[in-house]
Amino acid sequence: MPKRVLLGLLLACGLTAPALAQEPKTGGVINAVIQPEPPGLMLAQVQNGPTQMVSGNIFEGLLRYSPKLEPLPELAESWSVSEDAKTYTFKLRKGVTWHDGKPFTAADVLFSIEMLKQTHARARTNLAQVDKIETPDDYTVVFTLKQPFGPFLGIFEVGSMPMVPKHLYDGTDWKTNPYNNAPIGTGPFMFKEWQKGSFIRLVKNPNYHEKGKPYIDEIYWQIIPDAAARSVAFETGKVDVLPGGSVENFDVPRLSKLKDTCVTGAGWEFFSPLSWLWLNNRQGPLADKRVRQAIMYAIDRDFAKDVIWNGLGKVATGPSASTIKYYTDDVKKYPYDPAKAKALLKDAGYKGEKIRLLPLAYGETWQRWGEAVKQNLQDVGINIETIATDVAGGNQKIGDWDYDIAFTYLYQYGDPALGVGRNYISSNIAKGQVFNNVEGYSNPEIDKLFADGAVATPDSKRKEIYEKAQKILVEDVPVAWMLELQFPTITRCKVKNLITTGIGVNDGFKDAWLDK
């Protein structure tokens, strides 16, 4: 036997042996932490993080996404795209039933989309490119777009477009529909009980359309509001899963060292949280590009990553996270260089005018980061005043453009057209709103690039456009990009296969099992 073949066989054995040992076992209960308590579980009406995390088990989308953000089947078993990239045909999975036993059909898809257009801001924006939707039969849905829309296949995950049971919502007042409190989906787990302030209990869906799944019998989402108490709950064995962001980052190294504890940074590829400092481009010294560039040079982002975030994360290079499509690092670099920052400030004629900094009221880690940035900026001679607010107050100040520098982090949603452009295009400048172009950056070239990038075909053309946009933005520094954040998920090692897709824990626990 040739050596190469023998090696291949050995490798194959080596790979399959653990695979056999990892055959999923059925049964058991997973205790996970959820924070803060979701305001509701009806995913079509409430879309905050905790709701998605719990309801991703109850509801499903047409597609899932791999860690590389490739579409995978969920309620749609296959899909095809016409040659002109304007018609998308989805074939729905047959034999899928809602938790109350009614069949899931194309009529539900149609209804869900109509509902989401009114209740789900992101879905409405994503669907704006759709000209018409047809359902030639119960298991086929055809979307016809007004023009090609590059990221279209990326808008169907459960958080962006959850499927809603038409038979329970059609003709009712959606706001007060009793099923909002006991949601009915097609997902692997069914809603069972919610003791407000204590826990949410989900139980296995015995009729789930993927035979044999889910493996777990029950999930208890425990509501523990204090970060230190969440750490203790894991440490004392009361919970098995701490989803990313559940504990302060400085607790992660300690918890990671506990016996039988596994940590992963996977499962954030779709969201790719990217942190930056909003810089108010409209007024004062920050209106000058040189001052904004000086800020980039003045901040020691490696320190922030290594010390404040305990090595979790990656220094950002620009407006796109490295995990999303069309990212390039072929852009101007801003290493930590206080001397260069001082020179730029001098060049810009900065005279020590007071600059207000709004830290993010998301806990201790963010507070410390605010202090570190303040120190960095003071070191190069910027006169910084910290303004303390809570989240709601901070949002109002930012939305009213009543700030100079403010911390934030936002999701990227896998594609520059979905999660990046919104922060830099001038049509998104709207006072009173947050998470749009609050910095007031206006560049017709950037507007055109993002407009073209969304509809360009083929992919290579989009790549070219977005790479150019990244280069221009990094040169202009409308905001100061800080870190690609990592929110590690901490689990007991007995919890297997918890994270299998690009949306991590939010995709539900249908593949997870317990190695008892």
State the nearest-atom distance from the C-beta of 196 to another protein, in Å: 5
- Binding residue for another protein (CB under 8 A) from 225, 311, 349, 458? 225
In which element (H, E) is residue 431 found? none
Q: What angle do CA 374, 335, 281 make, to 5 degrees?
A: 55
Kindly state whether residue 223 participates in binding another protein, applying the rule CB under 8 A.
yes
Kindly state whether residue 410 participates in binding another protein, applying the rule CB under 8 A.
yes
Binding mask 305-344 for another protein (x = CB under 8 A): ----------------------------------------
Binding mask 21-60 for another protein (x = CB under 8 A): --------x-x----xx-xx----xxxx------------
Quick check: 116 and 130 in contact, CB under 8 A? no
How many Å separate Cα 353 from the centre of its chain? 37
In which element (H, E) is residue 213 found? none
DSSP 117: H
CB atoms within 10 A of CB 236: 8
Kindly state whether residue 128 participates in binding another protein, applying the rule CB under 8 A.
no
- Binding residue for another protein (CB under 8 A) from 220, 270, 278, 450? 220
State the nearest-atom distance from the C-beta of 390 to another protein, in Å: 6
Quick one: which segment of 18-26, 54-62, 65-73, 384-392 binds another protein (CB under 8 A)? 384-392
State the nearest-atom distance from the C-beta of 180 to another protein, in Å: 7
Token duo for residue 463: 């790549």
Burial profile 345-358: b = 16 or more Cβ within 10 angstroms, e = fewer? beebebeeeebbbb
State the nearest-atom distance from the C-beta of 422 to another protein, in Å: 6
Q: Closer CB to another protein, residue 141 or residue 420?
A: 420
Burial class (CB in 10 A: 0-12, 13-18, 19+), 444: exposed
Kindly state whether residue 389 participates in binding another protein, applying the rule CB under 8 A.
yes
| Interface positions, 199-218, toward another protein (CB under 8 A) | 199, 201, 218
Q: Closer CB to another protein, residue 365 or residue 395?
A: 395
3-state SS class at 423: helix
Kindly state whether residue 11 participates in binding another protein, applying the rule CB under 8 A.
no
Alpha carbon distance 457, 453 (integer Å): 9
Cα-trace Rg, the chain: 24
Kindly state whether residue 275 participates in binding another protein, applying the rule CB under 8 A.
no
- Binding residue for another protein (CB under 8 A) from 399, 464, 494, 496? 399
Where helices occur in 219-263 by DSSP H, the ranges are 227-235, 252-256
DSSP 97: B
Alpha carbon distance 117, 44 (integer Å): 10
Site residues (vs another protein, CB under 8 A) = 29, 31, 36-37, 39-40, 45-48, 118, 120-122, 124-125, 175, 180-181, 195-199, 201, 218, 220, 222-226, 228-229, 232-233, 235-236, 238, 389-393, 395-397, 399, 410-411, 422, 428, 430, 432-436
